Amino acid sequence: MPTATLFISSVQKELAEERRAVAEHVRQDPLLRQFFDVFLFEELPAKDRRADEIYLDKVDEAAVYVGIFGDEYGFEDKAGISPTQREFDRATVRGIPRLIFVKGDNDAARAPKMTALVREAAGQIISVPLVPRAKLRCATSRIS
């Protein structure tokens, strides 16, 4: 039975396929599924709590944060901050290990705030380019 949660963070609409691919890989990998449950916000049933409360609580509970950053920054709250940024910041403050995958290498195509988030993450940890699903599965299978 899995003992830890892997929290997947990204702009949901832009990176829906990548989110599902990472979740599917963890759930199907013989080694990873022994240790990790995957949290995807879109799989939660409706709740009577605010979305930001739920996703930040789930970050707090996570053993690993996986950020998938693309071109879009996403919905901004009243303070001008997206859920993806808040999740990354929360994982950083909590000292949760963070894995960052960056889709694309054209900063000119990115929203300015996403470019800033990619650069912030790169200044703290090693980020890697997001590769096609088949290559991701092959690379991670060598590890497990």
Give the pLDDT confidence of 7-45 residue by residue, as tens digits. 999 999 999 999 999 999 999 999 999 999 999 987 876
Residues 6+ apart with CB under 8 A from 97: 63, 64, 65
For residue 124, the model assigns a pLDDT of 86
Q: How far apart, in Å, do the first and last CA atoms of the chain sit? A: 17
Give per-residue pLDDT as tens, 31-84: 999 999 999 987 876 666 677 778 899 999 999 999 999 999 999 999 999 999
- Looking up tokens 């200044």, which residue turns up? 123
Q: Is 38 left (phi over 0), alpha (psi -120 to 50) or beta?
A: beta
Task: Note the pTM of the prediction, 2 decimals.
Answer: 0.84
Domains, in order of start, for the chain = 4-143 (3.40.50.450)
